[in-house]
């Protein structure tokens, strides 16, 4: 278990930026790094003190930048390497951190490593990717690129066919398949060292760490994750030696494995066993005022993972991200306020997807852009104000990366900043409270007292205890509690005779 936790993570609130859609400063219809720099004060004013930046590397953008062509070069549409370094510097001046998205499992088919790997002649990159030893060999359960070069063999791919899988070896190579290399073979070890070099380059340039894409998927034939854990432990040792303050957040969804592997925090994913979708993204989400949802399985799985991680509480619950429907797709503004009361009072660093703080809408059924498919509707441009293109860009509408929400009543940041009762103002209040209340921060303990309606849990840390009561359903509730009300949303809650009485669609935090 990693014990070298950068102190800044203890009170971090992350803001995820999808750079294509955030702020365009050169009127080409695509967001850029200078646009992010221009809006740093907006993020700081909200209260977020850390940024997760989705991939901004050179790419053909078959998968919105998750198909990397060159890990060392910023894509020209976003700016230059110097621009990214300036973003690091400007963020640091404001007391903010920036983590980059690291994509270690695959590259673009246009990456120079793959171009060399395709050659039939043995070279430095021959074993950088997972290749079978015959064009006719297609391993069961693995998609492949075939007949794409003079090299005899099929190249295993991850996800899209444009993303050949990098070779970190097989935990249990099949002796009948000679092409399955063990983890300690020269090719897999060279790939691992290349990954360290990429991390070293950006950390030396001022980056504060990485969110690691599909971190649990690197080693093949690794059912229990033991090989992948060992790989990340080796990388952890490298970071501890050279960059001990670098934060590592995993997209893994199994915190008992990722934290042992050396990550500081792990995401709950919208797929897999976490029951995260039960809360926000199903036909009857728990946070709907209809009160027909359930948090029971979510709480049970959370408690199971929490126990496995020695109650470290380093499980991140994001508001959303670029791969899922927006929160507002199934929840209205009042329901979103209660949902954010939950998100910003749980352990682990909160992650707010750009625009979720103003209730930006998911746009269903729009044409896929850069491999987004059904995800495209959650990647529309940030809505800053009521000017042209919602303040995102001065480009003509047809040049925009993705269409703007066409609704006349679409939310925007400026209007909500000027409205003390807006969703954004509520999110700002919650962040401010979290940052000054030790018991609500990342590493403070949690104990669930109820998993129904309402959801009740106790947070404790630094000699302070706070009871959180989350009541999304329309019906009022009464919970045994005493103390001082720190925060409430919805109709005013009252404490009398040893009980807290609260209205429907509300939340209250009580310092005990």
Distance in angstroms (rounded) separating the CA atoms of residues 338 and 508: 9
Domain with CATH 3.20.20.80 in the chain: 7-105+188-435
Q: What is the average per-residue pLDDT within 391-416?
A: 98
Domain with CATH 3.90.400.10 in the chain: 106-165
**C-alpha 79: how far from chain center:** 23
Give the pLDDT score at 358.
98
The packing angle between helices 226-242 and 186-204, to 10°, is: 40
Distance in angstroms (rounded) separating the CA atoms of residues 97 and 118: 39
Distance in angstroms (rounded) separating the CA atoms of residues 336 and 353: 13
Percentage of the residues of the chain whose pLDDT score is greater than 90: 95
Percentage of the residues of the chain whose pLDDT score is greater than 70: 99
Give the pLDDT score at 253.
92
- Helix H or strand E segment including 451: strand 445-451
The pLDDT mean for the chain works out to 96
Give the pLDDT score at 3.
54
pTM over 0.95: yes
Closest CA to 345 of 448, 498, 491, 493: 448
Tokens of 418: 């000027």
Q: What is the average per-residue pLDDT within 393-411?
A: 97
Closest CA to 168 of 120, 239, 107: 107
Residue 227 has pLDDT above 90, yes or no: yes
Given a contact cutoff of 8 angstroms between Cβ atoms, the answer to whether 493 and 503 are in contact is yes
Question: Between the CA of residue 334 and those of 325, 430, 507, what are the distances in Å?
Answer: 18, 14, 11
Closest CA to 127 of 162, 165, 85: 165
Given a contact cutoff of 8 angstroms between Cβ atoms, the answer to whether 431 and 438 are in contact is no
DSSP secondary structure string for all residues of 400-441:
SSSPPP--TT---HHHHHT-TTSHHHHHHHHHHHHHH-GGGS
Summarised one tens digit per residue, pLDDT across range 43-53 is 999 999 999 99
* CATH homologous superfamily for the domain 445-511: Golgi alpha-mannosidase II (2.60.40.1180)
Q: For residue 114, what pLDDT band results from cuts at 50, 70 and 90? A: very high
Q: For residue 80, what pLDDT band results from cuts at 50, 70 and 90? A: very high
Which 3 state secondary structure label does DSSP give 31? coil
Tokens of 41: 């004060």
Give the pLDDT score at 364.
97
Closest CA to 434 of 5, 6, 8, 11: 11
Distance in angstroms (rounded) separating the CA atoms of residues 411 and 390: 9
Closest CA to 320 of 371, 358, 373: 358
DSSP β-bridge partners for residue 450: 456
Q: What is the average per-residue pLDDT within 281-301?
A: 97
Distance in angstroms (rounded) separating the CA atoms of residues 178 and 172: 12
Q: For residue 28, what pLDDT band results from cuts at 50, 70 and 90? A: very high
Summarised one tens digit per residue, pLDDT across range 302-359 is 999 999 888 877 899 999 999 999 999 999 999 999 999 999 999 999 999 999 999 9
Tokens of 504: 């429907």
DSSP secondary structure string for all residues of 456-489:
EEEEEETTEEEEEEEE-SSS-EEEE--SEEEEEE
Give the pLDDT score at 297.
97
Q: For residue 491, what pLDDT band results from cuts at 50, 70 and 90? A: confident
For residue 87, which phi and psi values (nearest 5 degrees)?
-60, -45
Distance in angstroms (rounded) separating the CA atoms of residues 70 and 49: 29
Q: What is the average per-residue pLDDT within 262-288?
A: 93
Residue 31 has pLDDT above 80, yes or no: yes
Residue 98 has pLDDT above 90, yes or no: yes
- Helix H or strand E segment including 299: helix 296-308
Residue 268 has pLDDT above 90, yes or no: no
**C-alpha 273: how far from chain center:** 17
Fold for the domain defined by 106-165:
Oligo-1,6-glucosidase; domain 2 (3.90.400)
Which 3 state secondary structure label does DSSP give 53? strand
Domain with CATH 2.60.40.1180 in the chain: 445-511
Q: For residue 111, what pLDDT band results from cuts at 50, 70 and 90? A: very high
Distance in angstroms (rounded) separating the CA atoms of residues 481 and 213: 41
Tell me: domain 7-105+188-435, CATH 3.20.20.80, correct?
Answer: yes
Which 3 state secondary structure label does DSSP give 431? helix
Which 3 state secondary structure label does DSSP give 397? helix
- Compute the CA torsion angle 107, 113, 115, 118 (nearest 10 deg): -100
Given a contact cutoff of 8 angstroms between Cβ atoms, the answer to whether 216 and 229 are in contact is no
Given a contact cutoff of 8 angstroms between Cβ atoms, the answer to whether 209 and 248 are in contact is yes
In the block, tokens 């070779």 appear at 167
Closest CA to 321 of 276, 366, 284: 276
Given a contact cutoff of 8 angstroms between Cβ atoms, the answer to whether 77 and 370 are in contact is no
Tokens of 159: 């996800």
Give the pLDDT score at 2.
52
Determine how many CB atoms are found less than 10 A away from the CB of residue 293.
20
Give the pLDDT score at 323.
97
């Amino acid at each position: 278990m990693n014990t070298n936790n950068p102190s800044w993570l203890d009170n971090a609130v992350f803001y995820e930026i999808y750079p294509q859609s955030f702020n365009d400063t050169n009127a080409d219809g695509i967001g850029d790094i200078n646009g992010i720099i221009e809006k740093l004060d907006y993020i700081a004013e909200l209260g977020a003190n850390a940024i997760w930046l989705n991939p901004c590397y050179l790419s053909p953008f078959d998968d919105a930048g998750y198909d990397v062509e060159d890990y060392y070069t910023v894509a020209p549409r976003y700016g230059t390497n110097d621009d990214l370094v300036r973003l690091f510097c400007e963020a640091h001046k404001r007391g903010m951190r920036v983590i980059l998205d690291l994509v270690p499992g695959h590259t673009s088919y246009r990456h120079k490593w793959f171009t060399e790997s395709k050659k039939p002649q043995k070279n430095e990159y021959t074993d950088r990717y997972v290749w079978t030893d015959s064009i006719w060999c297609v391993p069961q359960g693995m998609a492949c690129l075939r007949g794409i070069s003079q090299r005899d063999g099929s190249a295993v791919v991850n996800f899209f066919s444009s993303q050949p899988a990098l070779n970190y070896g097989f935990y249990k190579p099949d002796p009948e398949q000679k092409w399955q290399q063990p983890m300690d073979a020269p090719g897999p070890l060279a790939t691992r060292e290349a990954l360290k070099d990429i991390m070293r380059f950006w950390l030396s340039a001022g980056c504060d760490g990485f969110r690691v894409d599909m971190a649990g998927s690197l080693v093949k034939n690794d059912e229990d994750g033991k090989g992948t854990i060992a790989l990340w432990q080796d990388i952890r040792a490298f970071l501890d030696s050279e960059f001990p303050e670098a934060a590592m957040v995993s997209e893994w969804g199994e915190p008992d494995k990722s934290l042992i592997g050396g990550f500081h925090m792990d995401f709950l994913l919208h797929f897999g066993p976490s029951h995260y979708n039960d809360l926000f993204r199903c036909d009857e989400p728990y946070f709907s005022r209809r009160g027909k949802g359930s948090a029971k399985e979510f709480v049970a799985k959370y408690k199971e993972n929490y126990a496995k991680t020695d109650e470290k509480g380093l499980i991140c619950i994001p508001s959303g991200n670029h791969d899922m429907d927006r929160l507002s797709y199934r929840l209205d503004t009042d329901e979103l306020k209660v949902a954010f009361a939950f998100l910003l009072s749980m352990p682990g660093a909160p992650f707010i997807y750009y625009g979720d703080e103003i209730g930006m809408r998911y746009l269903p059924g729009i044409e896929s852009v850069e491999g987004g498919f059904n995800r495209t509707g959650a990647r529309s441009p940030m809505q800053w104000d009521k000017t042209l293109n919602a303040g995102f860009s001065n480009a003509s509408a047809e040049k925009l990366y993705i269409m703007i929400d066409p609704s006349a009543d679409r939310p925007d940041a400026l209007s909500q900043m000027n409205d003390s009762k807006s969703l954004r103002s509520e999110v700002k209040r919650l962040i401010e409270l979290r940052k000054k209340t030790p018991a609500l921060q990342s590493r403070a303990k949690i104990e669930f007292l109820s998993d129904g309606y309402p959801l009740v849990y106790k947070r404790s840390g630094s000699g302070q205890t706070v009871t959180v009561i989350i009541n999304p359903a329309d019906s009022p509730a009464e919970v045994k509690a005493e103390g001082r009300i720190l925060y409430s949303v919805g109709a005013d809650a009252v404490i009398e005779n040893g009980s807290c009485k609260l209205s429907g669609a509300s939340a209250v935090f009580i310092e005990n």
